[in-house]
Structure 1
Amino acid sequence: MNTYEVWVQWNEWDDPWCRRTVQGETAGKTKYSFWEYLQDGLWEEKFGTVVKKLRCRKIGGIKVSDLFTNPATFREICERRAIDFTYQGMKIEVDGQCGVMVGGNHSGNIDVCFEGKYYAENCHPWWRTKYFDRKGNLIKEFLD
């Protein structure tokens, strides 16, 4: 997932119109998402017509650390669930899927960003979970 700046450019001399910052996997998908936004009463034409006027510039990629939640909430969840050895950014495996712990949530569970995804998922810290240290060694394992 990346962050793009998207806008409408009528021609090379006109000022940009309706400039927005949008998250997207690719520039093309970002333009399509922006077109859907424009269809909400701003500019209702077919995508093939509008896309010729859209400009898109990548301004940054997403990092797992961008998904980190409030550290105090995370620590509270870790204490309550007896997983005090964990930290945000720790490698974890849940039901065979590898990921990174990014926080804790109000349901008392942990948030994990799995490989290949750009969002956090709610996971129970004891359900088929393996915790790894920075070198990749298994620290703790919870089975069914």
Structure 2
Amino acid sequence: MNTYEVWVQWNEWDDPWCRQTVQGETAGKAKYSFWEYLQDGLWEEPFGEVVKKLRCRKIGGFKVSDLFTSPVTFREVCERRAIDFAYQGMKIEVNGQPGVIVGANNSMNLDVCFDGRYYAENCHPWWKTKYFDRKGNLIKEFND
């Protein structure tokens, strides 16, 4: 998985429009993901027409830290859910699946990127969750 910058370029003299950072396995998949974003009322044309105007530049390989959300929201959720020991980038296990905490969301849950996936999933911080320190030692475990 790589990180790409994708934008709309009408012709070589126009300024780029609607720049986005997108994750994708290939440049083509990143462009397609960007096209799906544009279909939400911004530009509703078939992919075959839109792709002619899209430009794409690889920024780098995928890193879990690319998914990190607001540290302010994350700290607030940690305080309210009594998991002050947690930090973004912490290894956890939810229902037996290993992953990394990448942030928190407005539903007062954690955003977790599970191993082998390239997106964050919404996880309750107390539901069958194990928290590990940097050395891999178990810090806290919730069984319910």
Could you state the TM-score of these two structures normalised by the residue count of structure 1? Answer: 0.70
- Are 2:18 and 1:15 equivalent residues in the alignment? no
Structure 1, unmatched stretches of 5+, are none
Matches within 5 A, 1:108-123: 108-123=108-123
Is contact 1:130-1:142 (8 Å) kept? Answer: yes
Larger Rg: 1
Structure 1 residue 34, shift from structure 2 partner: 5.8
> C-alpha deviations, 1:60-89, integer Å up to 9, x for none?
233222222222222221122121111111
Distance 2:110 2:34 in 1: 32
Distance 2:53 2:87 in 1: 46
Could you state the TM-score of these two structures normalised by the residue count of structure 2? Answer: 0.70
Distance 1:132 1:56 in 2: 38
Distance 2:105 2:47 in 1: 41
Is contact 1:4-1:27 (8 Å) kept? Answer: no
Structure 1 residue 142, shift from structure 2 partner: 1.0
The residue number in structure 2 matching 1:76 is: 76
**Cα pair distance change 1:102/1:15, threshold 3 Å:** same
Matched position secondary structure for 2:77: helix
The residue number in structure 1 matching 2:129 is: 129
User: Percent same amino acid at aligned positions?
Assistant: 67
Distance 2:30 2:70 in 1: 28
Structure 1 residue 50, shift from structure 2 partner: 8.4
For 1:76, the aligned partner's letter is E
For 1:3, the aligned partner's letter is Y
RMSD in angstroms over aligned alpha carbons?
Answer: 3.2
Aligned residues between the structures: 137
Structure 1 residue 117, shift from structure 2 partner: 2.3
Distance 1:51 1:77 in 2: 40
Matches within 5 A, 1:57-96: 57-96=57-96
> C-alpha deviations, 1:8-62, integer Å up to 9, x for none?
79xxxx8377855552421232344566759x46xx6884x98789764312233
**Which stretch has the larger CA shift, 53-62 or 22-31?**
53-62
Structure 1 residue 7, shift from structure 2 partner: 6.4
